[in-house]
Amino acid sequence: MKETFYITTPIYYPSAKLHIGHAYCTTVADTIARFHRMIGDNTYFLTGTDEHGEKIQKNAEAKGVTPKEFVDDIVLGIKDLWKSLKISNDDYIRTTEERHEKVVQEVFSRFLKQGDIYLSEYEGWYCTPCESFWTESQVGENHICPDCKRPVHKAKEEAYFFRMSKYVDKLLKFYDEHPDFVTPETRKTEMINSFIKPGLEDLCVSRTTFTWGVKVKENPKHVVYVWLDALLNYISALGYLSSDTSKFDTFWGKDAKIVHLVGNDISRFHVIYWPIFLMALNLRMPDKIFVHGLLMMKDEKMSKSKGNVVSPNPLIERYGLDAVRYYLVRETIFGTDGSFTPEQFVSRINVDLVNDFGNLLNRTVAMIIKYFGEIPPYQKELTDIDKELEICGKNTIMLYQNYMQDLKVTEAIIEVMNYVKRANKYIEETKPWELARDENKKTVLASCMNHLANTLRQSAIMLSPVLLETPSKLYSQLGIEEKLQKWETVSDFECLGNQKVVKQDPLFPRLDANIEIEYIKSLMGNI
- Name the 3-class secondary structure at 512: coil
Q: Which range among 8-12, 294-298, 491-495 shows the weakest confidence by mean pLDDT?
A: 294-298
- Using CA atoms, how far apart are residues 11 and 213, in angstroms rounded to an integer? 16
Which stretches of 297-338 are DSSP H helices? 312-319, 321-330
Q: DSSP readout, 113-172?
A: HHTSEEEEEEEEEEETTTTEEE-HHHHTTTTB-TTT--B-EEEEEEEEEE-GGGTHHHHH
pLDDT of residue 297: 61
Q: Is the bond preceding 314 in cis, omega lying within 30 degrees of 0? A: no
Instruction: Give 253-307 as a DSSP string.
Output: STTEEEEEEEEGGGHHIIIIIHHHHHHHTT-PPPSEEEEE--EEETTEE--TTTT
Predicted local confidence at residue 37, as pLDDT: 98
Q: How far is CA 44 from the centre of its chain?
A: 14
Report the percentage of the chain scoring pLDDT > 90.
80
What is the average pLDDT value for the chain, to the nearest integer?
A: 93
Q: Whole-angstrom Cα distance, residue 402 to residue 414?
A: 13
Distances (CA, A) of 401 to 315, 318, 463: 30, 32, 12
Residue 274 in this model has a pLDDT that exceeds 60: yes
Output the pLDDT for position 231: 98
Just give the CATH number of 4-309.
3.40.50.620
Is pLDDT at 527 greater than 70 in this prediction?
A: no
- What are the residue boundaries of the structural domains of the chain, listed by start? 4-309, 341-489
Confidence at residue 525, expressed as pLDDT on a 0 to 100 scale: 59
| C-beta neighbour count of 205 within 10 angstroms | 23
- pLDDT for the residue 298: 56
Q: Which CATH class is domain 341-489?
A: mainly alpha
Angle between helices 20-38 and 409-430 (to 10 degrees): 70
pLDDT confidence tier of residue 296, bands split at 50, 70 and 90:
low
Confidence of residue 290 (pLDDT cuts 50, 70, 90): very high
- Over residues 510-522, the mean pLDDT reads 94
pLDDT value at residue 271? 97
Q: Which residue has the higher pLDDT, 307 or 166?
A: 166
Distance CA 523, CA 500 (A): 43
pLDDT score at 304: 46
Exposed, middle or buried, 511 (CB in 10 Å: 0-12/13-18/19+)?
buried
CA angle, residues 325, 326, 328, in degrees to nearest 5: 65
pLDDT at 102 over 70: yes
| 182-196 pLDDT, tens digit each | 999 999 999 999 999
Digit-coded pLDDT (tens) for 109-167: 999 999 999 999 878 888 888 877 787 878 888 899 988 889 999 888 899 999 999 99
**Between these two residues, 1 and 110, which has the higher pLDDT value?**
110
- Would the pTM count as exceeding 0.85? yes
